[in-house]
Each structure stands twice: as C-alpha cells, then as structure tokens.
Amino acid sequence: MAVVGLSLLGIAVGLDAAGRLLVGVAGLFLLGLALSDVVVRPRLAADADGLTVRTLSRRMGGPWAAVTVRLRAGRRLGTAVHTLEIDIGDDLVVLGRRELGAGPADVAERLTQLRGGG
C-alpha cells in the first residue's frame, strides 16, 4: 500500500493542477493507511486469560468474562463480507480481514478455542 501511495505521489508531480490535487490526495491517503497499519500492529492479541485490541488512540482489553466476540455476515457492494465484532465493556470494535490479517471466521474460531482453554 505504501508503494502505491509513493507511486501516486511521484506520478502527481507530472500532472496538471487538478490531477496533482486528486492523485496527490489519493497517494497521501494510502500512505496514511500504511502508516496506521504499522503503528497499530498487532490489532488483536489474545491468550487464555483474555484479549487486547489496539486502536490508534488506545488499548482496550479484559478477561474473557468481560468480552463478547461475534462474527457478523453482511453484504457490501454485492459481495459477502464478514466482520468480527468485539464488545469490551462499553466499547464495540469491528474488525475486518484487512485489520486482522486473516479471515474473521478463522479468527473467531481461534478466539473461541482460546476462550475455552484450548
């Protein structure tokens, strides 16, 4: 993602003013996403005691008794999409494949195993 963002910024230099603006903003956006991916990794950490979720601004977590994990299926732009919803007290965190680095169904299965002690 960072490579594409840098490429777009390089391409933007040779464009007219409107093109520079549009392509430059797209490049900066992709660089920002890549930076947030680096800063906030790992997004989710879990063990037999509980789990921790990282966001840009803070860490949240708790023991399994205080956490609810749900797998949600939906449709976005005509495509089936799965997300992992994690309730931690008053906070709801929704993570998709990009944030998890794996399929939400696979992560939900592994979290269920950890929660059960396996």
pLDDT, tens digit, 9 for 90 and up, residues 100-116: 889 999 999 999 988 88
Cβ(86)–Cβ(100) under 8 Å? no
Cα–Cα nearest to 62, from 93, 20, 23: 93
What's the pLDDT tens digit per position in 47-90?
888 899 988 888 888 899 899 999 998 888 888 899 999 999 88
Confidence of residue 117 (pLDDT cuts 50, 70, 90): low
CA 101, 79, 109, 84 dihedral sign is: positive
Please write the tens of the pLDDT for every residue from 1-41: 789 888 988 998 999 999 999 999 999 999 998 888 788 77
Can you read off the two tokens belonging to residue 80? 């089936």
CA 31 to chain centre: 15
99: exposed, middle or buried (Cβ count in 10 Å: 0-12, 13-18, 19+): buried
pTM greater than 0.85 (yes/no): no
Query: Hey, where are the domains in the chain?
Result: 2-39, 44-115
Are 75 and 81 within 8 A, CB to CB? yes
